[in-house]
């Protein structure tokens, strides 16, 4: 995984790229299932989807979550603002811990599977210093865990041989 977190024109920008040896359709379907977000979120966040089943992902869908950030229980609501099956989707925070959070998930076919790119533009209360000391390191931990769990789900190890 390639991961960068930088200052942006407005706030901060996280870009993470992962190469996955599965088809675009398989990878998109995995990330397009809202319940897999619980699976790839680290336990320290105590993340839980509150939106009742069935969660139908589409443009305009609203998703509610509960999480615990540094001991503070939070409610997060996001809207799927772009839904292009097999290509990309965007979730935008309507209510949550960030000043703003716009997360684009992009999926591109490669010779060996899929290139998945996460592009997150976000703002934090307290600005650059809070991002440097707290938010940036937390996001790195979250994305490293996410990468590990996504690979565990999509690229299971072969047994035997």
Which residues, at least 6 apart from 77, have a Cβ–Cβ distance to it below 8 Å? 62, 63, 64, 65, 93, 94, 95, 96
Query: Own/partner pairs for 75-79, CB < 8 Å, 24+ apart?
Result: 75/50
Number of domains within the chain: 1
pTM score, two decimals? 0.92
Closest CA to 130 of 120, 139, 118, 117: 139
Is the pLDDT assigned to residue 161 strictly greater than 60?
Answer: no
> Does any domain span residue 72?
yes
3-state secondary structure of 56: coil
CATH classification of the domain holding 114: 3.30.530.20
- Kindly report the CA angle at 67 between 65 and 71, in degrees rounded to 5? 160
> Does any domain span residue 48?
yes
Following CA atoms 123, 83, 59, 79 in sequence, which dihedral angle do they give, to the nearest 10 degrees?
-20
Question: Domain span at residue 117?
Answer: 2-154
Q: What is the pLDDT of residues 100-155, one digit of tens each?
A: 999 999 999 999 999 999 999 999 998 899 999 999 999 999 999 999 999 999 98
What pLDDT was estimated at residue 73? 95
> Does any domain span residue 121?
yes
């Amino acid at each position: 995984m390639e991961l960068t977190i930088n200052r942006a024109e407005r706030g901060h920008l996280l870009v993470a790229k992962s190469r996955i040896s599965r088809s675009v359709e398989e990878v998109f379907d995995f990330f397009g299932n809202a319940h897999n977000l619980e699976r790839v979120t680290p336990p320290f966040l105590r993340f839980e989807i509150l939106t009742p089943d069935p969660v139908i992902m589409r443009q305009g869908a609203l998703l509610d979550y509960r999480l615990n950030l540094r001991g503070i229980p939070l409610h997060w609501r996001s809207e799927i603002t772009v839904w292009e099956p097999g290509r990309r989707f965007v979730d935008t925070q309507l209510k949550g811990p960030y000043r703003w959070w716009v997360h684009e998930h992009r999926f591109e076919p490669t010779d060996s599977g899929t290139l998945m790119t996460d592009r997150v533009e976000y703002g934090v209360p307290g600005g650059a210093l809070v991002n440097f000391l707290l938010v940036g390191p937390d996001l790195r931990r979250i994305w490293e865990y996410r990468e590990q769990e996504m690979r565990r789900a999509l690229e299971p190890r072969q047994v035997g041989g």
